Structure 1
Amino acid sequence: MPTVELALDELRAVTAFAVVCARTALPIVPHDEARPGEAVDAARAFAEGGRRTKAIRDGAWAAQRAATEARDDGRPAASEAARAAVAAAGAAYLHPLARAKQVRHILGAAAHAARALELVADDPGVGDAHVRALADRATPVVVEVLCRYPRAPAGGGRVGELVRVLDVVLRQRSPRSPERGGSEA
């Protein structure tokens, strides 16, 4: 399996982007549900220079339980917001394997946050607009890391569609993008 180069500072930048994205949906989570926010905080600590610790994984698992509970309680927007938190914590564990599914570690928090907001608004246009707005928050380092991986994979329902929209938007910003006259790895 081919691998990509991935430095610790780049992993922190990807995680910081995921944290920014997940935070946009946290207000949808009920105030008495702390687990998604704790997962985002654990990811933020890593992004700001902390170590990758068990707290990040534990936070992700707890936020996943919150997402499942919200879904089972008929609160799909809160479930997606919690899944954005799971994805933010998961960004800290982006693997250097050149596989398309790794793109979800980079862009999943944005896609789940956008899905949460569009569910609240009952308008898919809100999700599309949100991922495009979040694209403006991606640093050049995030775009460069993304471009080392294959394009986002097919599937994944609406969240997968949002991942692919964001993937295309960000790759078009890269000097390596074929659309800009560069060469893609």
Structure 2
Amino acid sequence: MVDEILLDMEDLREVVAYAADSAADALDFFERSYPFDWRPREAIDTARLFARGGKRIRLLRDAAWAALRSAQDAEDAAASHAARAAMCAPSSAYLHPLARSTQVRHILGAAGHAARAAELAAGDVPAIAADHVARACRRATPRLVEILCRYPAAPSGGGRVGELLRTLDMMLRGRAP
């Protein structure tokens, strides 16, 4: 049996606000290539509405699915990761109160995809991703870190985005990557 984590609506709003701000960092990478596709921007806006006190309703899931379709439609890899970051923002409202490492992706997924989008947009330069991870680390509030620390460390796998996510996870938990 998996232990349950205590989460209240304000915890979820904190996670979603963080994810939305992280995704917004990468939105330009998508919009430069696809200026008439508003789905990722709408996903971030929908997440921000929830973070500011909106209800956790189907609109969040619909916005996440729409942003994922943008990611799948994008031929540019940086744009695709930027759209995936946007997809993660409203999805993070559905963080499960289960003590599973995979739930860390709900908390840090937007930051990981945003960092990968920036890295790819710069020509696959790891230092650019490191800068984005550092920014994501500075953005994290004490409450977000406390929520993160209720969960086990980020899981293995996930390719380059998984590496970036684990690096951020270790930094936020106060461990050097």
TM-score, normalization: structure 2? Answer: 0.94
1:51 aligns to what SS in structure 2? coil
Task: State whether residues 128 and 165 of structure 1, in contact with CA within 8 Å, keep that contact through their aligned partners in structure 2.
Answer: no
Residue of structure 1 in register with 2:156 after alignment: 154
Paired-residue identity, %: 54
Gaps of 5+ in 2: none
Matched residue of 2:139: which SS? coil
Q: Distance in 2 between matches of 1:31 and 1:136?
A: 29
Moved over 2 A (4+): none
Cα distance per residue 1:34-68 (max 9 Å; x no partner): 00011111111000000011111000001000000
User: How many angstroms does 1:117 deviate by?
Assistant: 0.3
**For the residues of structure 1 that align with 2:134 and 2:24, how far apart are their CA atoms?**
16
RMSD of equivalent CA atoms: 1.1
Match of 1:133 in 2: 135
Does residue 142 of structure 1 match 2:138? no
Once the two structures are TM-superposed, the CA of residue 165 in structure 1 deviates from its matched residue by: 0.5
Q: Cα distance, 1:134 vs. partner? A: 1.2
Find the counterpart in structure 1 of residue 49 from structure 2.
45
Question: 1:152: how far off?
Answer: 0.3
Q: What is the distance in 2 between the residues matched to 1:133 and 1:39?
A: 21
Q: Is the Cα contact below 8 Å between 1:60 and 1:86 reproduced in 2?
A: yes
Look up the match of 1:124.
126
Aligned residues: 171
User: So what's the TM-score if we normalise by structure 1?
Assistant: 0.90
CA–CA distance in structure 1, aligned partners of residues 132 and 17 of structure 2: 17
Q: Which AA in structure 2 matches 1:162?
A: L
CA distance in 1, matches of 2:115, 2:152: 22
Deviation at 1:128, TM superposition (A): 1.5
The question of 1:61 aligning with 2:62 is answered no
Cα distance in 2 between the residues matched to 1:101 and 1:120: 27
**Hey, what does 1:182 align to over in structure 2?**
none
Structure 1: where are the runs of 5+ without partners? Answer: 180-185
